[in-house]
Structure 1
Amino acid sequence: MRPRRLAPLLPDPRRLLRYLNPSAAMSPAAAHLATAANPDEDLCASAAADAAVTEELVPAPPLPPPPVSAEERVERAWAHWRRLGAPRLTVAPMVDNSELPFRMLCRRYGADAAYTPMLHSRIFSENEKYRSMEFTTCKFCANDPDILLQAAKMVEPYCDYVDINFGCPQRIARRGNYGAFLMDNLPLVKSLVQNLSANLHVPVSCKIRVFPQLEDTLAYAKMLEEAGASLVAVHGRTRDQKDGKKFRADWDAIKAVKDALRIPVLANGNIRHMEDVKDCLEHTGADGVLSAETLLENPALFAGFRTKEWKEDGDENGDSGLDQADLVIEYLKLCEQYPVPWRMIRSHVHKMLGDWFRVHPEVREELNKQPILTFEWLHDMVMRLKQLGGGVPLYRKEGSIPMAQNELATENA
């Protein structure tokens, strides 16, 4: 059986990724979509990458019909979750930062599952170029039940979940009246979930933020379950608490949601290293955790590695001598195989090499001034940084989570 496209959560990490790359629905010519006004919008495609994506996308076999009763939905929600291996360590959705090569890199270093970036359901339904460039697996934002269903139907054969993002707090979500700003219109939220749940064969998941008042959060989460959601991921901050370093996520609120719901619940917020994962799961009772910003700096978080900021007594260099420059090289090689826009690559390089750039700001300025990126230039830049010295290793306690099961993985993400 062929592996399936998955959105947003991934099953068995042994599954191969080979036909899940962003160009799978494109011809070789389309893989070089050019935007001369801004080279960073170009795909970082190569002839080798084009040759590697000739496999035709084949839908998965038909799925069973949607469940009818609430009890059956809950039962199926848990059966589905367990069938995926009950993934506990998940890469959270990040706009322009959750693309396929980055998800693959995180999966190599311990992540069990990953959300794709949030995609706009109307544009996805109407714009073939948008679908070709962005669909590797799909996570949706929307505020119209019919448009959302139209987009979801297009990806349903290739997904294990279709997720509705009710948690995005960004200004673009405020302008478009979606994401966390739909918290002001709960009847609409309910209709979006009900419409998908009643008309899709694949389960529906929802990512939310908490209300300032706990009772409002609990009523919100219960409504989503009753509307047909099979999974809820709870970010323990309100939509106004955008600064993760300034505002601590409320694990007590997440625990209350977990205690109130009968379906799987994921916890999001305050995950900086594996001790946080352990503490969060114990505190909240959640079925898994999500991490976002910390993974951008350290994609090896779920393999037990820490940055210098979170180094503790007893930590030591991992046996591999891993550092963030090594992770950048791995990421660039994945991008060469699975093309993405250069703007995403530029962003990831800045985040992963932030500590190094603070030691050598002149190299960062070279990167900022580089109008057209190439893989050769980026590899040379990383080598120059290593030669200049001043790089900071990643740290891992002896006896922490082994990497062997993920080191050679090229599973789909």
Structure 2
Amino acid sequence: MATQTRPLSSQLLEDNEDDDRLCYPDITAPPTEHSGQIGRPNGYLTGESRIERAWAHWKKLGQPKLIVAPMVDNSELPFRMLCRKYGAQAAYTPMLHSRIFTENEKYRSQEFTTCKEDRPLFVQFCANDPDVLLDAARRVEPYCDYVDINLGCPQRIARRGRYGAFLMDNLPLIKSLVEKLADNLNVPVSCKIRMFPDLQDTINYAKMLEDAGCALLAVHGRTRDEKDGKKFRANWNVIKAVRNAVRIPVLANGNIRHMDDVRECLEETGAEGVLSAESLLENPALFSGYRTAEWVLGSEEINKEGKLDQADLLVEYLKFCEKHPVPWRMIRSHVHKMLGEWFRIHPNIRDDLNAQYKLTFEFLYDIVNRLRELGVKMPLFVMGSDDYSLSSHRSVV
């Protein structure tokens, strides 16, 4: 199907120079071949029909297994496109605030951009009002494959705003949010959750979401109090228990640092796919089999001739940003993540970056050139074993 580009909103922004961000109100206007649009809202389906439709939709998308997790200010369009280039098969947008999204045209134009290549796509919202959430969801459903409800954010801002993981204290409200979307959207509804301290509570929670109309469930294997991913290891056994308890597709989130983790997680949990977040920020080529030096120590089967490093990836990311402009704060964050090891060796260059109130692409490319002239290289390594095929992973209804 032919596609064309048109603005999400009808009015272009005129304040490009009032701060250090780029305004980009245009998004591609599918539906495309991946679209969840099927002509009738989900509300007319019940029981077995909803389960069958959930699986039919997942299979239509190609059953993606390698997925970019939602990251506030970090899973924006250019970064999603970079990860897709290096093996990601689907991606989430950053968490969008449903009320602000419905009220503020500038927020919509800057915080949500997409293009025809950016599929399959989950658009994630935080919310605590079913009607407001539906309003926001209807604005994006032509451009995505799932509208996702953030039920897992554990940060203080989520506590103050009464959304994310802090809705776990109000299960009836969560149920009403899911039902409102499931009964009124054409595109399927997905949810991303954290586990309760008690396993049975988590299983009951997952079943409630399924009964309310959730068509896909992403499970983060930590509680909302376990915020530090390096301190608390995700519990894959809980994800496995949820996968065995529900009949909709389940994705696993937590402990995905390289492709061996992907293989082990899929085998241990039985999940349909995995999400990676923090590890992708340092190594957007993770899903192509590349590892940072941190994860190759002690490994014997490594291609020592690493021909890719974080600087190469940063340059590619900046090229995507030039094509698909996003706020500069997002770009600045990715520069710090991808060049973090270099900055530890040459903190003066990091200080130069931090001193820049307004960034330019010329300045950022110059930073990369300065580091290269200093002879610094942070290579990414490819593991020697390539006998693992994701296509062998099971997927059952």
Q: State TM-score, norm by structure 1.
A: 0.86
Shift in Å, 1:24: 4.3
Tell me, yes or no, if structure 1 residue 314 matches structure 2 residue 301.
yes
Could you tell me which residue of structure 2 aligns to residue 76 of structure 1? 53
Cα deviation, 1:303-350, whole Å, max 9, x if unaligned, reads: 00000000122212466x000000000000100111011111110000
1:270 aligns with 2:255: yes
- Sort the Cα spacing of 1:162 and 1:130 in 2 relative to 1 into closer, same or farther, 3 A: same
* 1:324 equivalenced with 2:307 (yes/no): no
Deviation at 1:136, TM superposition (A): 2.3
Q: Which residue of 2 aligns with 1:397?
A: 383
* Count of aligned pairs between the two proteins: 373
Q: Is the 8 A contact 1:44 1:342 kept in 2?
A: no
SS in 2 for 1:350: helix
What's the C-alpha RMSD, in Å, of the aligned pairs?
2.1
Q: Which residue of 2 aligns with 1:408?
A: none
* Pair 1:157–1:26, CA change in 2 (3 A): closer
3-state SS of paired residue (1:234) = strand
2:362 corresponds to: 376
Whether 2:267 is the aligned partner of 1:282: answer yes
2:145 to 160, 173, 177: 160
- In 2, the alpha carbon distance for the partners of 1:261 and 1:128 equals 38
Query: 80, 86, 89: which one pairs with 1:112?
Result: 89
Equivalent position SS for 2:291 = coil
SS in 2 for 1:322: strand
- Answer whether contact 1:89 1:290 (CA < 8 A) is retained: yes
> Aligned partners of 1:212 and 1:362: how far apart in 2?
44
Q: How does 1:290-369 map to 2 (within 5 A)?
A: 290-311=275-296, 312-317=299-304, 321-369=307-355
Structure 1 stretches of 4+ moved >4 Å: 26-29, 58-62
Shift of 1:122: 0.8
Cα pair 1:355 1:391 within 8 Å, conserved: no
Q: 1:95 to 1:172 in 2, by over 3 A?
A: same
Q: Cα distance 1:62–1:254, how it changes in 2: closer, same or farther (>3 A)? A: closer
**Residue identity in the other structure for 1:363:** I
Q: Following TM superposition, by how much is the alpha carbon of 1:390 offset from its aligned partner in structure 2, in angstroms?
A: 2.6
Aligned twin of 2:391: none
CA contact (8 A) 1:197 1:204 kept: yes
2-structure distance, mates of 1:352, 1:27: 36
In structure 2, the CA distance between the partners of 1:188 and 1:318, relative to structure 1 (3 Å rule), is: farther
Amino acid at match of 1:232: L
Question: Letter of the aligned partner of 2:367 in structure 1?
Answer: M
Report the Cα distance in structure 1 between the residues aligned to 2:155 and 2:371, rounded to whole angstroms: 34
CA distance in structure 2 between the aligned counterparts of 1:142 and 1:106, rounded to whole angstroms: 27
**C-alpha separation in 2, matches of 1:129 and 1:242:** 31
What does residue 95 of structure 1 align with? 72
Match of 1:178 among 157, 163, 171: 163
CA contact under 8 A between 2:38 and 2:187: conserved in structure 1? no
Q: Distance in 1 between matches of 2:383 and 2:229?
A: 25
Partner of residue 57, structure 1: 29
Give, in angstroms, the shift of residue 263 of structure 1: 0.4
Alignment correspondent of 1:222: 207
CA distance in 2, matches of 1:85, 1:359: 43
CA shift for structure 1 position 399: 4.9
Distance in 1 between the 2:109 and 2:256 partners? 33
Q: Check if 1:252 corresponds to 2:237.
A: yes
CA distance in 1, matches of 2:374, 2:228: 33
Distance 1:31 1:243 in 2: 40
Alignment deviations for residues 223-265 of structure 1 (CA, whole Å, 9 cap, x no partner): 0000000000000000010100000000000000000010000
TM-score, normalized by length of structure 2? 0.89
TM-fit CA distance, 1:158 = 2.2
Name 1:386's counterpart in structure 2. 372
Is 2:119 the partner of 1:136?
no
* Structure 1 residue ranges without an equivalent (≥5): 4-17, 403-413
Are 1:25 and 2:25 counterparts?
Answer: no
Shift of 1:183: 0.3
Residues 269 and 62 (structure 1 numbering): CA distance in 2 closer, same or farther, change over 3 Å?
closer
Residue number among 228, 233, 238 corresponding to 2:218 in the alignment: 233
Name the counterpart of 2:120.
none
Question: Would the alpha carbon gap of residues 172 and 119 (structure 1) be closer, same or farther in structure 2, given more than 3 Å must change?
Answer: same
- Aligned partner of 1:184: which letter? D
Counterpart CA distance in 2 for 1:207 and 1:185 is 16
Gap regions ≥5 residues in structure 2? 115-122, 389-397
Out of 67-76 and 281-290, give the one that drifted further: 67-76
Residue 80 of structure 2 aligns with an amino acid whose one-letter code is: R
Match of 1:35?
18
User: Per the alignment, in what secondary structure is the counterpart of residue 67 of structure 2?
Assistant: strand
Equivalent position SS for 1:283 = helix
Contact 1:63/1:202 (CA < 8 Å) preserved in 2?
Answer: no
| Corresponding residue number in structure 2 for 1:242 | 227
Partner of 1:151: 136
Q: Is the 8 A contact 1:62 1:157 kept in 2?
A: no
Pairing 1:210–2:234 present: no
Q: 1:32 to 1:383 in 2, by over 3 A?
A: farther
The sequence identity of aligned pairs, in percent, is 66
| Cα deviation 1:370-401 (Å, max 9, x = unaligned) | 12211011101101101102322001123538
1:76 is paired with a residue whose SS is helix
